[in-house]
Amino acid sequence: MYAALVLGVAALLLATCWGAYRLWNGAPYPEVDPHVVATRLGSEAEHVQDDLALPAGAESPPDRMETGACYYRGLRSVAHIDQARADVRTFILGWRTTGVPKDTARTGQERVRARLSQQGWKLISENISDMGFRYEDRSTGDQVDVNWYAPTGTLAVSIHAPCGKIPDGYGL
């Protein structure tokens, strides 16, 4: 009886500590391999570029991945407001081309939409710009934004991966 009580108290104490830790830190970021993410986003950028079928001379996807800041989760985020984590990053490929006629942009966007929908991506936002949308890959969390802005005829594409924890010793 006494042993069961001690085990019960120990289990309750461990569960409380784990809960407090999780409340303070929030859900952990998934571990990512930057090379795998870069390859995946680069491949998607090529598909989007092919779908858009812009005339020769239009800007192509960059060959360099950028990273973005990710922040603390849970109650710890209150203690570290606007302080980015060094070990967690998001990855972004983006480019823009100006002078794209509305009909050309719309036709290309429809091809991108059709392919992403066929591959199971989920539409999560529309009309971000004068004419734009955002799709998300349900399995990876990657997002594709394709926007067209009327005043300059700018077609802007952004492909990004959600925040992920970078392996120790990996320099970005």
34 three-class SS: helix
Counting residues of the chain whose pLDDT is more than 70, the rounded percentage is 94
Which pLDDT band, with edges at 50, 70 and 90, does 122 fall under? very high
pLDDT digits 0-9 by tens, 40-94: 999 999 999 999 998 877 777 777 889 999 998 877 777 778 888 889 999 999 9
Which pLDDT band, with edges at 50, 70 and 90, does 142 fall under? very high
Q: What is the mean pLDDT of residues 147-151?
A: 92
Q: What is the mean pLDDT of residues 130-156?
A: 93
Write 140-146 long-range contacts (CB < 8 A, 24+). Answer: 140/40, 142/40, 142/41, 142/44, 144/44, 144/48, 144/112, 144/116, 146/48, 146/52, 146/108, 146/109, 146/112
**Rg of the chain (C-alpha set):** 22
CA 141 from centre of chain: 6
Q: What is the mean pLDDT of residues 139-158?
A: 94
pLDDT digits 0-9 by tens, 82-113: 888 889 999 999 999 999 999 999 999 999 99
Tokens of 118: 């066929």
Decide if pLDDT at 19 tops 60.
yes
Mean pLDDT of the chain: 87
Q: Where are the alpha helices (DSSP H) in 26-166?
A: 34-52, 76-79, 102-118
Secondary structure letter of residue 38 according to DSSP: H
Spatial contact of 124 and 134, defined as CB atoms under 8 Å apart: yes
Tokens of 156: 């802007």
Buried b vs exposed e over 22-43: b needs ≥16 C-beta within 10 Å? eeeeeeebeebebeebeebbbe
Spatial contact of 95 and 61, defined as CB atoms under 8 Å apart: yes
Which pLDDT band, with edges at 50, 70 and 90, does 166 fall under? very high
